């Protein structure tokens, strides 16, 4: 984790991100496999990443509301994970992991990568025909005790691109 680098486009393009959805909902039973009990209040946030204006990644993050509502020490304003659609992206100080900035206990991530048809939402965001194939990455974080986290980012993060 200490060697991890934030997302950046290659040397041939300029990267940008846009938040397209932020909503609170009750977790469906399907989220139990991610370590989130059915009925737990969660925040779902969807972002689209671009390279030189071309959409390249559709990313959905789901985490318990109490985690999404956390604020870094000394920070004022809307909690970073609850920033509404259209708000400027909030980032931690350079060289600081987002999880560390928000005080989350994230020690590792378990990932599953599949190739499958993208969701209708991902296809629309990436300007692809519905049902286009893509890679789906489901990442579930683990805390310092090795347990599935129910409090850090991303619990879980599903990326379809």
Structure confidence at residue 4 as a pLDDT band (50, 70, 90): low
Structure confidence at residue 15 as a pLDDT band (50, 70, 90): confident
pLDDT of residue 31 exceeding 70, the answer is yes
Taking Cα atoms as reference points, which of 141, 47, 136 lies closest to residue 102? 141
How much is the pLDDT for 33?
77
The per-residue pLDDT of the chain, averaged, comes to: 81
Surface-to-core class of residue 8, CB atoms within 10 Å of its CB (0-12 exposed, 13-18 middle, 19+ buried): exposed
pLDDT of residue 147 exceeding 80, the answer is no
The whole-angstrom separation of Cα 48 and Cα 64 is: 21
All structural domains of the chain, each given as residue ranges with its CATH number in brackets, are 15-160 (3.40.1410.10)
pLDDT of residue 91 exceeding 50, the answer is yes
pLDDT of residue 160 exceeding 60, the answer is no
């Amino acid at each position: 984790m200490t060697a991890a680098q934030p997302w950046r486009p290659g040397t041939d393009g300029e990267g940008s991100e846009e938040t397209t959805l932020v909503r609170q909902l009750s977790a469906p039973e399907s989220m139990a496999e991610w370590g989130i009990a059915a009925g737990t209040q969660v925040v779902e946030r969807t972002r689209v990443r671009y390279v030189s204006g071309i959409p390249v990644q559709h990313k959905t993050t789901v985490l318990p509301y109490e985690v999404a509502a956390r604020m870094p020490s000394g920070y004022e304003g809307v909690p970073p994970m609850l920033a509404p659609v259209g708000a400027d992206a909030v980032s931690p100080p350079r060289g600081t992991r987002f999880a560390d900035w928000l005080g989350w206990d994230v020690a590792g991530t378990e990932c599953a990568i599949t190739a499958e048809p993208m969701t209708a939402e991902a296809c629309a965001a990436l300007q692809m025909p519905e049902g286009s194939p893509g890679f789906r990455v489901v990442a579930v974080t683990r805390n310092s005790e090795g347990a599935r986290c129910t409090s850090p980012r991303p619990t879980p993060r599903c990326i379809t691109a």
